[in-house]
């Protein structure tokens, strides 16, 4: 299978993704073009194994359908299962918890997760795990294996699987702190462009270095200039990637066939660097950002941190039909808006990464009436990606009774059951 690839065209060539992934770089030459279809292929998690993860001591689950409905009482372990799947991407998963918290209470040695992916040209095995701190040592970091061989970083998983999620904790995204929207935006970027995580880490490292110099009351101009050049370079790349994502996603939202069910969103970015990126070549943005950091060094010294930069950017969303900020929309409208963004992003991922993403939709059905639920299930089916949905009552999913695998979750075990 040859992954269909498109690159983020506005980035400077030197900052384009250079990893071996299907996001716009040189991967997949060995794949068979004969299997290319109009829709991106569904990459399905066929088998999932959890060891000492949250309330699962040892679980092996098999999924034989593109739509999986997980139902069970509160506290049964539905979200824990989604969280486990969200760890087949870089980062700390959908709860952003510590590895210690993810490890089953009382278990020594951390947790382990394993997924067998059904790729069109054969199975791919991904294993990941973390934790296992002993004698008060720092928690051990994340380990990743692909087809049995250790991977250099968690980024490697993105070559084989793209995962995006929507959880009830994100219901307040438009009204909550800027940091949550920024994180959401970065997750949207990362799902399509695996290099984004490395850029963010490099920027944060440089910024922490500068903050440390402030804390030590250092005044070495050469040292500051070197760190600020790093911040400017990586910060501009971050802002450019975000701006490109906003542009591509907006174009996809425009094309969305379901705009009347899930209202179209207008997206914009605010932030010192993000706003420059929209109007100037990257090289000039980088220079201006570097100059600004130097010029505002004393202001930042007084604050103990950088007061401007991509770490302060915001994603601004408007409800187009209502022509008002998303934050002023009703709870249901905000949820519909967010679902619309995630669906358009899933389409974009399919087009750009060449594989349909796995979607994790926690308690997705609860907010919507029957008509919207039925429409959502049709759209998800059409997207062709594997989707895991949770809910306390199977009745909420009656509209896909004949198209989904229904699984009942209880106390760390899974049982297949017949839909109602």
Question: Which residues does the annotation place in the binding site for ATP?
Answer: 72-79
Min CB(55)–ligand ATP separation in Å: 4
Is 26 or 73 the residue whose CB approaches ligand ATP more closely? 73
- Segment (H or E) for 209: helix 195-215
Rounded CA separation 166/189 (Å):
15
Min CB(81)–ligand ATP separation in Å: 7
Q: By CB under 6 A, which span of 67-75, 311-319, 331-339, 365-373 interacts with ligand ATP?
A: 67-75
Rounded CA separation 56/238 (Å):
37
Min CB(417)–ligand ATP separation in Å: 15
Please provide the distance, in angstroms rounded to a whole number, between the alpha carbons at the two ends of the chain.
37
Min CB(72)–ligand ATP separation in Å: 5
Of the candidates 112, 109, 106, 134, which has an alpha carbon nearest to the alpha carbon of residue 125? 112
Rounded CA separation 219/133 (Å):
39
Is 392 or 398 the residue whose CB approaches ligand ATP more closely? 392
Is 52 or 191 the residue whose CB approaches ligand ATP more closely? 52
CB environment 206-221: b (16+ within 10 A), e (fewer): bbebbbebbeeeeeee
- Contact between 204 and 186 (Cβ < 8 Å): no
- Contact between 190 and 197 (Cβ < 8 Å): yes
- 76 near ligand ATP, rule: CB under 6 A: yes
How many positions of this chain bind ligand ATP (CB under 6 A)? 15
- 410 near ligand ATP, rule: CB under 6 A: no
- 131 near ligand ATP, rule: CB under 6 A: no
Among 9, 13, 74, 135, the residue binding ligand ATP under the rule CB under 6 A is 74
- 92 near ligand ATP, rule: CB under 6 A: no
Among 27, 54, 242, 297, the residue binding ligand ATP under the rule CB under 6 A is 54
Rounded CA separation 151/145 (Å):
5
Residues in the chain: 420
- 104 near ligand ATP, rule: CB under 6 A: yes
Q: Using alpha carbons only, what angle is made at residue 300 by residues 296 and 306, rounded to the nearest 5 degrees?
A: 100
| Binding-site entries | 72-79
Is 52 or 349 the residue whose CB approaches ligand ATP more closely? 52
For the chain, what is the total number of helices (H) and then of strands (E)? 10, 15
Rounded CA separation 393/373 (Å):
14
Q: Using alpha carbons only, what angle is made at residue 75 by residues 70 and 77, rounded to the nearest 5 degrees?
A: 45
Rounded CA separation 180/191 (Å):
16
Among 105, 134, 298, 369, the residue binding ligand ATP under the rule CB under 6 A is 105
- 78 near ligand ATP, rule: CB under 6 A: yes
Q: By CB under 6 A, which span of 9-17, 76-84, 172-180, 208-216 interacts with ligand ATP?
A: 76-84
Alpha-carbon distance values, 46 to 34, 114, 292 (Å): 23, 11, 51
The two tokens of residue 35 are 């299997």
Helices of type H across 44-118: 78-86, 99-102
The two tokens of residue 150 are 């250790």
Min CB(403)–ligand ATP separation in Å: 23
- 71 near ligand ATP, rule: CB under 6 A: no
- 55 near ligand ATP, rule: CB under 6 A: yes
Among 80, 191, 234, 236, the residue binding ligand ATP under the rule CB under 6 A is 80
- 93 near ligand ATP, rule: CB under 6 A: no
Of the candidates 359, 356, 353, which has an alpha carbon nearest to the alpha carbon of residue 17? 353
Q: By CB under 6 A, which span of 7-15, 98-106, 185-193, 223-231 interacts with ligand ATP?
A: 98-106
Is 383 or 414 the residue whose CB approaches ligand ATP more closely? 414
- 411 near ligand ATP, rule: CB under 6 A: no
The two tokens of residue 293 are 């950091």
Min CB(385)–ligand ATP separation in Å: 21
Among 40, 66, 77, 310, the residue binding ligand ATP under the rule CB under 6 A is 77
- 75 near ligand ATP, rule: CB under 6 A: yes
- 196 near ligand ATP, rule: CB under 6 A: no
Residue 412, CA atoms < 13 Å, CB-side half-sphere: 12
- 392 near ligand ATP, rule: CB under 6 A: yes
Of the candidates 11, 9, 5, 3, which has an alpha carbon nearest to the alpha carbon of residue 277? 11
- 396 near ligand ATP, rule: CB under 6 A: no
- 176 near ligand ATP, rule: CB under 6 A: no
Give me the residues that bind ligand ATP (CB under 6 A), please.
54-55, 72, 74-80, 101, 103-105, 392
């Amino acid at each position: 299978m040859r992954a269909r690839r498109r690159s983020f065209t506005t980035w400077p060539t030197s900052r384009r993704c250079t990893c071996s992934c299907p996001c716009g770089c040189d991967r997949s030459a060995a794949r068979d073009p004969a299997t290319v279809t109009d829709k991106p292929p569904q990459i399905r998690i066929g088998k999932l194994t959890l060891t000492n993860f949250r309330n699962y001591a040892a679980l092996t689950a098999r999924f034989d359908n593109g739509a999986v409905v997980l139902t069970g009482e509160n506290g049964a372990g539905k979200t824990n299962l989604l969280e486990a799947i969200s760890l087949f991407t870089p980062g700390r998963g959908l709860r952003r918890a510590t590895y210690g918290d993810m490890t089953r209470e009382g278990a020594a040695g951390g947790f382990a997760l394993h997924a067998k992916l059904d790729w069109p040209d054969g199975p791919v095995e991904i294993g990941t795990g973390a934790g296992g701190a002993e004698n008060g040592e720092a928690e051990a970091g994340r380990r990743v294996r692909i087809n049995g061989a250790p991977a250099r970083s968690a980024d490697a998983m993105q070559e084989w699987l793209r995962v995006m999620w929507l959880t009830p904790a994100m219901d307040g995204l438009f009204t909550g702190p800027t940091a949550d929207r920024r994180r959401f935006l970065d997750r949207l970027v990362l799902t399509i462009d695996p290099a984004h995580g490395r850029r963010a880490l490099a920027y944060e490292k440089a910024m922490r270095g500068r903050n440390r110099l402030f804390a030590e009351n250092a005044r070495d101009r050469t040292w500051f200039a070197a760190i600020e050049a790093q911040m400017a370079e990586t910060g501009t790349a971050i802002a450019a990637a975000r701006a490109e994502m906003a542009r591509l996603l907006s174009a996809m939202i425009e094309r969305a066939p379901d705009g009347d069910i899930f209202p179209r969103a207008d997206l914009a970015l605010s932030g010192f660097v993000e706003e420059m990126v929209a109007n100037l070549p990257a090289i000039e943005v980088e220079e201006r950002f570097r100059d600004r950091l130097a010029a505002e060094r004393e202001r930042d010294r007084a604050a103990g941190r950088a007061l401007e930069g991509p770490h302060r950017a915001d994603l601004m969303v408007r409800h187009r039909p209502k022509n008002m900020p998303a934050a002023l929309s009703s709870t249901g409208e905000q949820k519909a808006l967010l679902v619309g963004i995630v669906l358009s992003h899933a389409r974009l991922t399919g087009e750009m990464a060449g594989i349909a993403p796995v979607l994790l939709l926690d308690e997705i059905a609860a907010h919507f009436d029957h008509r919207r639920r039925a429409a959502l299930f049709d759209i998800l089916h059409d997207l062709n990606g594997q989707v895991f949905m949770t809910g306390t009552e199977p009745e909420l999913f009656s509209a896909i009774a004949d198209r989904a695998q229904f699984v009942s979750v209880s106390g760390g075990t899974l049982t297949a059951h017949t839909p109602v």
